[in-house]
Amino acid sequence: MEITAVMVKELRSQSGAGIMECKSALKETNGDVEEAVTFLRKRGLAKADKKAGRDTAEGKVGCYIHQGSKIGVMLELYCETDFVANTPDFQELVRDIAMHIAAAKPRFATREEVTEEVLGKEREIFAHQAKESGKPENIIEKIVTGKMEKFYEENCVLEQAFVKDTDITIGDLIKQKIALLGENINIGKFARYEI
């Protein structure tokens, strides 16, 4: 099938990928634009995983103040170069994540940041609840494990469903931007203030 400029243009507008990547994706999918979008997303996420270990020494500090000025967030978001930090896509990501933090009230950026003290206390509470509800001893550990996963989803930014698109997590959103911008991106510290 012949890949036309119109097809490439349509795919570029949907995916944000470069011309040659769009042409290649359309060839791989026999000109099916929807399949090509999926193909590019898969390839982009694979590239994002490869970039995960790269050093992030640049970035931006972003702020978000919610309507009414009762909730505010400050956030450090890191990337590899100053060039990417100054792109509109990166700055939009900073704002989106700060807005998400204002709405979702996470306590930690990643599950690795959760202290052993917090984990121990949460496990103890979940185990007590399971015992109180009359669950057998051999089931309690499975219940606690399941509830701990839910705890991470509710309290770690990267594992929370993105407030603007609940089909993806903040971690997925960051991977999409890594694929688009070509650099590793990491969340640093954040602070959420509420009056």
Phi, psi of 110 (to 5 degrees): -130, 165
Question: pLDDT-derived band of residue 170, with 50, 70 and 90 as boundaries?
Answer: very high
Positive or negative, the CA dihedral 130, 158, 190, 50 is positive
Tell me what pLDDT residue 45 has.
Answer: 52
What is the distance of C-alpha 56 from the center of its chain?
16
- Domain residue ranges in the chain: 5-51, 58-109+156-194, 115-154
| 58-109+156-194 CATH, one of 3.40.50.300, 3.50.50.60, 3.40.50.1220, 3.30.479.20 | 3.30.479.20
Six token digits for residue 101: 């933090």
- 115-154 fold: GTP Cyclohydrolase I; Chain A, domain 1 (1.10.286)
Name the CATH code of domain 5-51 (choices 3.40.50.300, 1.10.8.10, 3.30.930.10, 1.10.3210.10).
1.10.8.10
DSSP 108: B
51 is written with which tokens?
């970039």
Q: pTM score, two decimals? A: 0.70
Whether residue 73 is predicted with pLDDT greater than 90 in this model: the reply is yes
Name the phi and psi angles at 192, rounded to 5: -115, 130
* Position with higher pLDDT, 12 vs 187: 187
Q: Report the C-alpha gap between 49 and 137 in whole angstroms.
A: 39
Proportion of the chain in helix, strand, coil states, percent, rounded to 5: 60, 20, 25
Confidence of residue 50 (pLDDT cuts 50, 70, 90): low
